[in-house]
Amino acid sequence: MKCRFLYEDVVGIVLTEMFQQIREEFHRITNKNLTDDFRSAINQHTPRLLRLYRARRTVFPPEMDQLLNRLGEETSDVTAHGQTAALKGLPLYLHDSHEKLFRNCLATDPEEEQMKGLIVGVLTVLEDDDSSGPARVINIAVIVEEDIVLQDLPDLPTAFAYLFGLIYALDLQHAKELRYAFETIQKVFMELGTDLSARVRSLKNKLFQ
């Protein structure tokens, strides 16, 4: 896939212009609306994904249990938290590498440690607070090759949509440990292609039962 702008040009573009360019380039390549179609897909699939996670939570890594426990404690904006949990649980369900796609850090953590090892991913920066309550999110950023290319995104689903759009617009490679998660987003959520691996086909069948 060819794109209208190169990665070297992206870093210096004003964020609002960059968001628009990503959407336009994605539409040019796929004839789909990146943010609207992604949001529609996550709205559609979140309830079923969460049921699948809960049904087999004991067979997944401990991170899945922690994710579902935190979701169960949420009392405000349950829909948004559910969508975030559905996305964060996807690599765990598919036995991809969760830590190579989603990372949390504190605002006081050294910058080089915050993004170390992230080829493509979403970084959530949390306020360094000693209180016992949930840490406040102060920034959500899209990472490419250990650099922030987009930041101040409103929520994790929006950040993930733009990350996926960047992969298309810049023809980026992602870690092989994320193969099934991105295949699901591409071919099940965004309906871009029909040649599915057995693992993703199994998930798709469960989503549409």
Tens of pLDDT along 28-70? 999 999 999 999 999 999 999 999 999 988 889 899 999 999 8
- Is the pLDDT confidence value at 76 over 90? no
pLDDT, mean over the chain: 87
Tens of pLDDT along 20-34? 999 999 999 999 999
List the domain boundaries for the chain: 7-207
Tens of pLDDT along 128-176? 876 666 678 899 999 998 888 899 999 999 999 999 999 887 878 777 8
pLDDT band per the 50, 70, 90 thresholds, residue 3:
very low
* SS3 (DSSP) at 124: strand
The model's pTM: 0.87
% the chain with pLDDT above 70: 90
Residues in Cβ contact with 106 at an 8 Å cutoff, skipping those fewer than 6 apart: 125, 126, 127, 128, 135
| Exposure b/e, 29-66, CB count within 10 A at least 16 = b | bbebebbebbeebbeebbeebbebbeeebeebeeebee
